Amino acid sequence: MNRGNDTIRVLIPLKLRKKNGRPKIMPPADYRPSEDQAQDPHILRAIGRAWGWRRRMEAGEFATLQELAEAVGLAERHVSRQLRLAYLAPEVLKRLACRRDASSVSLYDLRFLAGESWPEQVARVFD
């Protein structure tokens, strides 16, 4: 039932720059941060990491979560929970990463919303 044209792509216009030897995610040039800076940077970092892991798994670099966890030096349970962030609704990802809308749930709660329907995710994250 899964055909090649059923794929949904989420593109987030970010740039990676090195700062003090570590990669730093830079927003688009036309981005204006809100005055209250309510977005938690840990959420953005966790989403970016989850998408990186998802790409590596889809590319066949790792066959199992255990292999991925060993490669990144983290516990398998932690990796599996964080990886759920890569499967959030596109609208949630867009509002968190591009618009920097404040989330009404914590990073811990956000990880468990990936199994919900997309409209339900949007309602629970931003209401």
Whether the per-residue pLDDT at 36 is higher than 60: the answer is no
Q: Which residues contact 86 (CB under 8 A, 6 or more apart)?
A: 47, 50, 51, 53, 54
Taking the domains of the chain in order of start, what are their residue ranges?
40-126
What's the mean pLDDT in 93-121? 84
Give tens-digit pLDDT for 39-98. Answer: 678 888 899 999 999 999 999 999 999 999 999 999 999 999 999 999 999 998 888 887
Burial of 124 (0-12, 13-18, 19+ CB in 10 A): middle
How far, in Å, CA of 122 to CA of 30, rounded?
25
Whether the per-residue pLDDT at 127 is higher than 70: the answer is yes
Confidence of residue 21 (pLDDT cuts 50, 70, 90): confident
Average pLDDT taken over every residue of the chain? 83
CA angle 33, 34, 36 (to 5 degrees): 125
pLDDT of residue 50: 94
Asked if residue 93 lies in contact with residue 85, where contact means CB atoms within 8 angstroms, the answer is no
Percentage of the chain beyond pLDDT 70 is 89
